Structure 1
Amino acid sequence: MEKQVFFSIIAILIAFLFGGFVFGSMFNLEPILITEKANNSSHQNLFAEPIKNFVRESPKMSFIQENSLLGVTPPTSVTPQVLGSILGGVEIDESGSGIESESNGIIEYLVESGDTLLSIAAKYNISLETILWANDLNSKSLIKPGQKLIIPLVSGIIYYVKKGDVLSELAETYKGKVEEIIAFNNLSDRGDIFIGDILIIPGGKMPPKPKPISQAQIPIGSSYFICPQTTCHITQGLHWYNAIDFGGKCGDPLYAAASGTVQTIRYGWNGGIGNYLNILHPNGVVTTYGHIQNSLVVPGQTVSQGDIIAIMGGKPGMPGAGHSTGCHVHFEVRGARNPFAN
């Protein structure tokens, strides 16, 4: 008899909890959809082409500097990129097959004695034209030991997205395929691109009358950007792409270098940069913060200079660390000189 009473009580409690969850979800659904629609309509200017979808996010709590608890907003679902970072730098596509992360990246190559442009192209199994286009060289250009070259790990074009760019038009201009560009650059299924994005167009060709694909440098004052990290300790000088690394402790807060609007937040390997976010500034310059542990902002959010936007990551083995040897932030400036470069 006592057992029957006990199990009856348990059954009633389970029914009560389940009913509260269902009805709570029903009552909360409509406001969520309305809010999301409003957000979409107010941030159309962030995209190189119109917004097609937003990733809904859920709150989570995380420690900063091991003594402060703040809310963060990671993705609600585990994407293939996030799963790839957890598994150690191998991304998983939708079919479940493994894709080596380095196969869709860009490397910075230091020329060695005896190297030629042809031998470097053969080493990475890419066309000579790919190296020439990526480095603004021609067939008569000479290279020397110690020189840095940008090497896409597939034959094609490196393209810097500008305002008004549309993916289908880029594919047509540079003789690429939309579906290949989307897959190679880990874009959303709809192919959303953003101002300041760096795309690889696999198999792309320069048109007969080449259009300039390098970014024009926007002049900025020396005080326009502040250091994104408290100590401003530089651990690596200027490297691809127009980046400076600032070292610190995992869990340190990271700051917006200038006011602007958060464009994109991506989790996973992402060609080695790991978890990262981009901020579009009023003058058209975009800053990128790589190897972050968590983002404290969301796409479309307006931030002021000095606002805490993320938490430093980069420790080897940490999800989203990317290609990293220790805790630091990879700070890129796209469209202007990096003020922290010597």
Structure 2
Amino acid sequence: MDSPGSSLKVRRSVAVLGLALSVGTTGVLINQQNSKDLRVTPIAQSPQTLADVLSQNKDRKYEMARAAIASGSWDNHKGVLVHEVRKDETLFKLTQQYQIDAAAIATSNGISAATPLQPGTKLLIPPVTGIVYKVKSGDTLDAISKFYKVAKSDIVKYTALQSSELLTVDQPIVIPGNVATLIRVREEDAKQRLTTKTRSSASTLRSSRRQRSPG
């Protein structure tokens, strides 16, 4: 059975290769120099679509990606990927391309698994199993780490943050972990906030009634 580490490497390699195969205006092919030395060569535009060019010898390219795993070329791939939806792409196709659960992509982009994808839409793709979270005003890495119960070092690592102290509003960061668990944390927090708000409203109403009551 494959180890979790090897599974993660496969995910990274397929995700990066999938990204190369999906680019609409520029792209790359992985050319193998030898068994341990890989390089990336730009592909020029031609009358034939880039997608067609990149689809040629696809099996060979996947073999090269596997060679890249062995050489460690993809080990350092981290950070949020941005995918621009193309015609006829579906969420299912993206899960195959990036080897990420549909729930991870849907939750990261605030859509449902049944949402039709519109060409030109840009989707945030986490590099590992987990979700992409957009920083809100007042957020700190410590607070986000505690909220999701995820190690701060893991967030820094998979987001490829240069500094854990400098977060900007709407900055996408990676929260690695089981997607269902991360969603449950959000739902429980939302329920708690609603309960607190309801109790506060009820308390205010009772107080207002007492003040209006004749002595």
Larger relative helix fraction: 2
TM (normalized to structure 1)?
A: 0.29
Larger relative strand fraction: 1
